[in-house]
Amino acid sequence: MAFVLAPTQGRLGGFLDRVLPLRHWLGAEAAGGAEQGQARTRLICTLAGLSGFGALGLFADLPAGIAATAILFPLYAMAYAFEVKRRPVPTRARRALALLADNLTASYIASFGGGFAAYVGFNFLTSFGWGLRFGRHYLFVASAIAISGMAWNLVASPYWQQNLLFGGSIIFGLVAGAINAAILLERIALGNRRLAEKMEEIAQLAWRDQLTKLPNRLHFQERLSQALAAAARKHREVALLLFDIDGFKAVNDSLGHEAGDRLLQEIARRVGRRVRQADTFARFGGDEFVVLMELNRGTSDAVRVAESVIRVIADIDLFASSGIRVGASVGIACWMPLPGERPNSDELLKQADRAMYEAKRAGKGCYRFARRPYSGVT
């Protein structure tokens, strides 16, 4: 026994279903007249009809199945051209069916208005008595319509438990199964690539400042926690340099926010060239920036970076014609783990912030270390 499933939604599909309503002709010829096979076949075709498909042919042997497929295929192609292309099933829906149907605890078959799609999961097969030891039936595993949007699919019903094959062809089945499997794997790979690209895009939005393309505050705080934990394990000293832009308010007030944005982008570009690749340079918020670095040669490493930051920002002459000069005031807080001490990122940031305002009170355009070394003794 073999039967052909074809689309019955849309104008042409509905016409085919009315002209060839063979899914209702399920008499004694179904599964050789066996009552159990007859009930199974009727239920399969009923579900197929409810899902937007009709069993348009019921055949007892291979030649009849091949002949019917050859005759009906052009009609399926017409249905595809006139219906599916005009109102395609959403790609996301097809991918969701393909990836999730086999994992559902219940049988799963679905259709979508404006198009058509069906997927038969493994649990759907087991509900008809086909055991797990036989594996997945090659023509049921992935409906070509659900996976690729094709407008035809030949589905055979092999009755493995009695070692009989009612209709269909093992060769045709293997070819169709291989095509479906190849399409499924290609779609899964494509879906994974698109998912990875989308996740990367989401990560960029979540972790990056959109103006300067630097790590944002959330990303920096995550990096800071990780760096302090690593420093505690390795017993290494770290430094946090926090600075804001002297004269930034004057730029915004006199020249507008677009000029302020250009200034922030220029600072990100220039300072980014001066820090090491292993360091973290981030926009902390507003006109505040922060550098997190591991000290290899003590505080002299932090001094070198602070002086470089002050120099490159003072050299910016974007607004020289307006008489506005900009600079940077840098606050530095260092931490060396001591016995019994645990990292506290919030306290380290507070120390750097206080040191930055001390630099401003000292005349701006300079750096200051935190007065008291940060201690997080528990």
Question: Does domain 217-369 correspond to CATH entry 3.40.50.1370?
Answer: no
Report long-range pairs for 254-259 (Cβ below 8 Å, ≥24 apart). 254/322, 254/324, 255/319, 255/322, 255/324, 259/318, 259/319
Residue pair 321/311 in contact by the 8 Å Cβ criterion: no
> pLDDT tens digits, residue range 248-304?
999 999 999 999 999 999 999 999 999 998 999 999 999 999 999 999 888 999 999
Q: Are strands 280-285 and 53-59 parallel, antiparallel or unpaired?
A: unpaired
Q: Are strands 2-7 and 238-246 parallel, antiparallel or unpaired?
A: unpaired
Q: Which residues of the chain fall short of a pLDDT of 70?
A: 1-196, 203-204, 372-378
Give residue 124's pLDDT.
40
Give residue 371's pLDDT.
72
Looking up tokens 């062809």 gives 169
Q: Which helix (H) or strand (E) holds 204?
A: helix 170-207
Question: Left if phi > 0, otherwise alpha if psi is -120 to 50, otherwise beta: which for 247?
Answer: left
Give residue 191's pLDDT.
55
Residue pair 109/124 in contact by the 8 Å Cβ criterion: yes
105 phi and psi, to 5 degrees?
A: -80, -15
- The pTM of the full predicted model, rounded to 2 decimals, is 0.50
* Domain coordinates in residue numbering, the chain: 2-196, 217-369
| Residue 350 CB-half CA count within 13 A | 9
Q: Pick from 4, 12, 13: which is nearest to 71 by CA?
A: 4
